[in-house]
Amino acid sequence: MSPLVTRFSVVALAFLCSACLGSWQVEKPPPKEPDRFVRPEVRFGAANPSGLTQFNHPLELSVREWTRILENVWVQREPEIIALASPQEPPIPAFTADEIAFLSKWLSKWFKLAHPDEWVVFGLARARSADITEVTTGGWFVEEDKLYLTLGNYRYAVTMESIREQLWNDPLQSMGSRNYIFAAGEHQSVTLVGRGPLAVVRGTRMLQLIIDYKSLLATPSVANPAQKSDAPKSAVSPEGDRFGDMAQKLRELKQLRDEGVITEEDYRMKKKQLLDKY
């Protein structure tokens, strides 16, 4: 056999072997979304619920100052029409100590680098159970001497990875399930952005917390909503506790239906079972 034929045979054999190996390669799964993030982001049109296009960025605040600001963000479960007769639950801190430590670090960093046309958006996820993940998303910006915090979703129960990916891509899109509202403390006020039916369809109708951060940071001690004399009492009757559990189950059941996990018939049957027990 001539050297030329031998060389051709070796090359052909190597090509066939590589093709065979390639056909046996297992495709790698897509990378999993991180449990939390903070990033600057330019938002246009309907994706910008504030309507503003220029902010007072960059902003120099230390990690310690951001920690104090975040510690003074409180929320309260929004009362439903069916629950008006039950005692309202007291306000609670919006973020856990671990979430505050994470957000303080990265908000301090990104606001120092943010451009005047950029929001600083964030996402937080934590497991509620083996099948349900609680997702909180939103964004910040500075206008004059005020910090604006918009929560697109707060502790939103997610069962499908595609929904979480959607919220990670658009953290200011509201899924329309608002279980909590801001409980304004000292140097704070609350407003609603994205009014009208079109905003509801687009997912841009959200509550916004306005913080006079300079006054807050200059005050030695800031009273949180739970410390105010007119704040709701912390004691909740056993009947109120039982109703709160049932209301939460109804919300989760409705979300499972909205996401297509269960059918409309299943939803109605399970809802009736829950109400009959109550």
The pLDDT tens digits for 21-47 are 444 444 555 555 689 999 999 998 878
Higher-pLDDT residue of 199, 88: 88
Backbone angles phi, psi at 126, to 5 degrees: -150, 145
Asked which of 71-80, 137-146, 176-185, 224-233 is least confident by mean pLDDT, the reply is: 224-233
Query: 3-state DSSP: the chain helix, strand, coil percent, rounded to 5?
Result: 40, 20, 35
* Residues 181, 186: Cα–Cα separation, whole Å: 16
Residue found under tokens 């606001």: 111
Six-digit token string for 38: 């903070």
How confident is the model over 99-104, as a mean pLDDT?
Answer: 97
Reported pTM: 0.70
From the number of C-beta atoms within 10 Å of its C-beta (0-12, 13-18, 19+), residue 219 rates as: middle
Say if residue 272's pLDDT is above 90: no
pLDDT per position as a tens digit, 159-217: 999 999 999 999 998 887 667 889 999 999 999 887 555 554 455 578 899 999 999 99
* Residues 146, 116: Cα–Cα separation, whole Å: 14
Helix or strand or coil: residue 87? Answer: coil
pLDDT per position as a tens digit, 226-262: 766 444 433 333 444 454 556 667 777 777 777 676 7
Contact call for residues 255 and 178 (beta carbons, < 8 A): no
Asked which of 16-20, 91-95, 147-151, 163-167 is least confident by mean pLDDT, the reply is: 16-20
Helix or strand or coil: residue 19? Answer: helix
